[in-house]
Amino acid sequence: MDNYIKQLLKDIDARIAVAPPPIGMVIGENVYPISDSTTLEESLGEAERYVSAPPAKLGDQLKFTINEFPRATLLNTKQLTVLTQALENLWLAWHLVPDFPKGLPVAMKYNLMRGYLEKEIVLVKVGEVHIEFCEYDYDNCPFIGYCDSCDPKKFTDEKWN
């Protein structure tokens, strides 16, 4: 499995290398402002493209299938950690920001990101798209025990006023 993962990491790095530059993004401590060469018309054109373009499978756009990423149960902790970080780096390179609650186990992150390769989305060239895995429906919450954003017991009138 280690040799396969090494090759998969090389393939991920190759896709990161051809990603559009991170214009108008903040990645960690790094800020990539909209450059002087990006005109208002270009920015507005990208916004229009984002809302009107037909979505496509994320995996197709990133040139990966879900089956290229082994199931989490087949990976040891080190492999899982390395692949999860590589997936996050790939997403960030393509202007996608996965939003997870703090403390979420790496296996849960990996499974969610792996599964998201099957979802249809529109990629952007300017700015970033935050991917929320929670639909704020407590009965279907993927993060029970790690987040209380949709826990009805935690909602009070004061919280929303």
In the prediction, which pLDDT does 20 show?
Answer: 83
pTM: 0.80
Q: Distance between terminal CA atoms of the chain?
A: 52
Spatial CB neighbours of 110, under 8 Å, sequence gap ≥ 6: 69, 72, 75, 80, 83, 84, 87
For the record, the structure tokens of 105 come out as: 């186990």
In the prediction, which pLDDT does 103 show?
Answer: 87
Instruction: Tell whether the model's pLDDT for residue 131 goes beyond 70.
Output: yes
Q: Report pLDDT digits (tens) over 14-49.
A: 999 999 876 655 555 655 555 555 566 666 777 777
d(CA 12, CA 157): 46
- Asked if residue 24 lies in contact with residue 127, where contact means CB atoms within 8 angstroms, the answer is yes
CA nearest neighbour of 131 among 150, 151, 143, 113: 113
Report which of residues 51 and 9 the model is more confident about. 9
Report which of residues 124 and 151 the model is more confident about. 124
In the prediction, which pLDDT does 155 show?
Answer: 59
Q: Report pLDDT digits (tens) over 73-99.
A: 999 999 999 999 999 999 999 989 999
Task: Assign 150 a pLDDT band (cuts: 50, 70, 90).
Answer: confident
